[in-house]
Amino acid sequence: MAVSFYINQRKNSNWGGKLSPHVQCFYSSAVMWLSYYKHLEPGFLENYVDDVERQVGKPGIAERLFPKLTGRTGAYWDVHLAALNQYVNNVKFDNTIPYKTFLELLDKGPVITGTKKIGLLSGGHIILSVKKTDKGVIVKDPYGNAMKNYKDQNGDMIEYPHEYLSKYFSNHVIWHA
């Protein structure tokens, strides 16, 4: 595996006002996930966002494979699944995974993980779950530390206890099979 890095989504480009960093958790988590499997050059995040998001840059995978999608195409799990499969073979998605099965998937490697209303956020949020421990899951949360209601913006390799994460887990995951 390649060496992974952390992306704080709050520091991402706003694409000339077209894409607020506050909605870039999926792109950030996907690129952090990819960094476990591939060496990524500087600027890869911008290229990835350009590929999956219809509202910015040149036409990419969103336009080619999902021409009927409207709005923020980077919010769709299928768009990210298609994009990630361009770089790593055998990437899978499921939106019915129970928490126990999610923990088993972590034995194989990091998992892009959907959450709902974590850290007082008003809706869904995507994080990268890296590994499980006896007490919880080590995550790279691109928005910061949810257990501190995101007042702490450093979400790199923090442990969310099982009782906490399972409460906000949305059953949506992407992993390398």
Question: Mean pLDDT over residues 127-140, rounded?
Answer: 98
Q: Are 148 and 123 in contact (CB under 8 A)?
A: no
Same structural domain, 14 and 82: yes
Same structural domain, 103 and 163: yes
pLDDT above 80 (res 1): no
Of the three residues 26, 56, 89, the one that is the final residue of a domain is 89
Query: Tens digit of pLDDT for each residue in 109-125?
Result: 999 999 999 999 999 99
Domain span holding position 151: 93-176
Average pLDDT of the chain to the nearest whole number: 95
Using a 10 angstrom Cβ sphere, with 0-12 exposed, 13-18 middle and 19 or more buried, the burial of residue 131 is middle
Q: Are 176 and 128 in contact (CB under 8 A)?
A: no
Of the three residues 89, 108, 143, the one that is the final residue of a domain is 89
Query: Tens digit of pLDDT for each residue in 71-107?
Result: 899 999 999 999 999 999 999 999 999 999 999 999 9
Distance CA 93, CA 60 (A): 20
Closest CA to 83 of 110, 102, 64: 64
Provide the whole-model pTM.
0.96
Domains in the chain, number: 2
Same structural domain, 128 and 73: no
